[in-house]
Structure formats: structure tokens, C-alpha cells
Amino acid sequence: MLMKVQQDMTDANHDEGTPVSVKIRERLQAAKRRFHSNDNIADFIRPGELEALFEEVTGKMKGVLDSMVIDTENDHNTGDTARRVAKMYLKEVFAGRYVPAPAITEFPNAEHLNELMIVGPITVRSACSHHLCPVIGKIWIGVMPNEHTNVIGLSKYARLAEWIMGRPQIQEEAVVQLADLIQEKTQPDGLAIVMEASHYCMGWRGVKDMDSKMINSVMRGVFLKDSDLRREFLSLIPRRS
């Protein structure tokens, strides 16, 4: 009995010293789940662990500042920077990795709506996964419902977009992830998404071009087959800046 207790304590001590990120990573690997920068891992984070992750990232960010030879002890401007950046990454700009999908109530299409519906512009804020530089832009969503399509409130499109964009992203992959999610939630006959965004990694660094924007689109279902519908959608999007 005594040995058993000692064994348990040893396990507890071992567990204590293991970074929470390692525990979460082990669960992801055991489940054979991908954990790229734009994947959501909320299902693998247990209650209280996000707080522990915040402490862990704070410590690592402090290490980055130390390695950049910034005197965080005496510099009143950077004393709390590690904690602020950790909070910004985990709980603000990249929260879309760590929190579950927003609860969206889907309603049956009682009115049998079957006309093209366009939502936008929705402001999107993300960051590129190459440099973690901001990506800020707008998206327009076109939905071609059928009588079986679920209806969701207009503001819900923005909530879904925020969740997908709140991860280090690549614009091309972000719009596909968003299209997959909206397709799954609403099951329309057709879905079209256009995203236009400024990539700050091009303005702040690199070619230092502040004006260039990246535009891309995803077309699904009838938008792929029907060029008139596609043209109608694109012509109804207000003139982009």
C-alpha cells in the first residue's frame, strides 16, 4: 500500500513538471489529429489548462525578449510585455485555435427562400502563419439556399468568420476553412466567398508595399456551374477599394 502511494506521488510529481503544451500535444498525437497553426485544438484542452498554457507562453515570451537583449527588468515599457503578448496570442488574436466553435442555431428554411443572399462586407482580422503579422481585410459571402438549407442569423456569419480567422492563417486556406464550415452548418445549393485583405508582412517588412492587397475566392455548388449566378454575385459586391 505504501509503495502504491509512493508510486502515485512520483507520477504526480512527473505530471507537475511536464509543460501543459506537451500534455496537449501528446493527446493530439494519440488521437492522430493535426495541429497546424490554423487548426482548432479546443477539444484537447482540459478545464484550467488554457490558464496554465498562458503562464507557459508568458515564460517563453520572456525568454524571447531576453534573447533579444531587452532589459525587461529595468525597462518600464517591456516589463509586462511577455504577459501581454501571451494574452494577445492565446486569448485574443489566436483564440480561434483554443476555444470551441461559436454556438450557432440553425433554423429550417421555413420561407423556402431560394434567392441569392449576400452578406458583407465582414471585417476580418487574422495574421499570417509565416511571420505572425496582421492580415486585415473584408469578406463577402454569397449563399444560394434551397428549401433544405438551414438559415442562420446574419451576425452568425461574422462570428464563424472571426473564429476561423482568429488563427495564424494563410488567406487561401482561411477562405476554404470558412467555406467548409458554412457549407456544413447551412447546406446551401451554392456558396461563394470573396476575401480581400492587406498583408502587413508586405507593408511592415519585405517589399514594404503598403497598398497591395490579396483577393481570392471560393465558389461551391451552383456558383461553380452557373456563370450567370457567379457574375451576379460578383457584380453585387460593392465596388472594392
Residues making contact with Zn ion (CB under 5 A): 128, 130-131, 201
Smallest distance from Zn ion to CB 172, Å: 13
Instruction: Determine the Cα–Cα distance for residues 236 and 234; give it in Å rounded to an integer.
Output: 5
Smallest distance from Zn ion to CB 126, Å: 11
Nearest CA to 147 out of 115, 112, 181, 116 is that of 112
130 versus 231: smaller Cβ distance to Zn ion: 130
65 versus 201: smaller Cβ distance to Zn ion: 201
Smallest distance from Zn ion to CB 68, Å: 19
Helix (H, G, I), strand (E, B) or coil at 159: helix
Smallest distance from Zn ion to CB 133, Å: 5
Residue nearest to Zn ion (CB): 201
Smallest distance from Zn ion to CB 198, Å: 12
134 versus 145: smaller Cβ distance to Zn ion: 134
89 versus 140: smaller Cβ distance to Zn ion: 89
* Cα 73 to Cα 63, 66, 78, 135, distances in angstroms: 12, 10, 8, 32
Helix (H, G, I), strand (E, B) or coil at 26: helix
Half-sphere exposure of 236 (CA within 13 A, CB side): 17
Cα dihedral sign for 206, 207, 210, 216? negative
Smallest distance from Zn ion to CB 210, Å: 14
Cα dihedral sign for 84, 86, 91, 95? positive
Instruction: Determine the Cα–Cα distance for residues 137 and 148; give it in Å rounded to an integer.
Output: 32
130 versus 240: smaller Cβ distance to Zn ion: 130
- What would the grid cell of residue 86 be? 501571451
125 versus 131: smaller Cβ distance to Zn ion: 131
